[in-house]
Chain A
């Protein structure tokens, strides 16, 4: 059974860079796409972007200028960086296996942007 676990700081200051890592266990990160999805408190889901195990990426156009997703196949991990954050980036961030549909989800991690 594939499991995903997000890790990273729960508090980030405005204008700084949010950094999260997702560790995949129970299966190889190879041969799949891997996405980040976020959910502001009390609101809906927003797709941030995905990475293929080979390193190719695609980002949500609305966030593209601030997002970088990378992969480390040796550690079975992929990561998210979101720069120049504001309070509007406060959300639960999920890492997800992306096989066209999002079939395996991490538990999510709340990241709050505040000084």
Chain B
């Protein structure tokens, strides 16, 4: 059971928009800690996709965007492409139990 809750899977057709939610609590996202998102293509290491809730590292297309509100965060992908098919993870910090960096359980994005 992950501290941050993500849907196990989402899907969309090429060109469509999809969102992936990340729900936390008052000890992590709700406490004001930043949320980061990672993309993991099959057989590869995760890659930083969004940092500090809504910022894109250099080289990440602007089709990817992030937002945060209350105890939740979201990743949006517009203009869906076949190459976006991957696992996506949110990550934050949790202040309970001596503090720990925590991940969501991951969301598998399928491009139909």
Contacts and interface: CB of A to CB of B under 8 A. Distances in A.
Interface stretch (B21-29, B71-79, B95-103): B95-103
B43 to A, nearest CB: 10
B64 interface: no
Interface centre among A35, A101, A105 (most CB of B within 10 A): A101
Chain A contact patch, size range? 20 to 34
B45 A94 contact: yes
B84 to A, nearest CB: 19
Interface in B7-52: 34, 36, 38, 44-48, 51-52
A100 B34 contact: yes
Interface string A29-45: 00000010000000011
B106 A105 contact: no
A47 B101 contact: yes
B103 A58 contact: no
A50 B52 CA distance: 19
A97 to B, nearest CB: 10
Contact of A101 (B44, B52, B104): B52
B48 A45 contact: no
B103 A101 contact: no
B65 interface: no
Interface in B80-112: 89, 91, 97-106
Nearest to B2: A44
B91 A102 contact: yes
B61 interface: no
B45 A44 contact: no
Interface of B: 2, 34, 36, 38, 44-48, 51-52, 57, 89, 91, 97-106
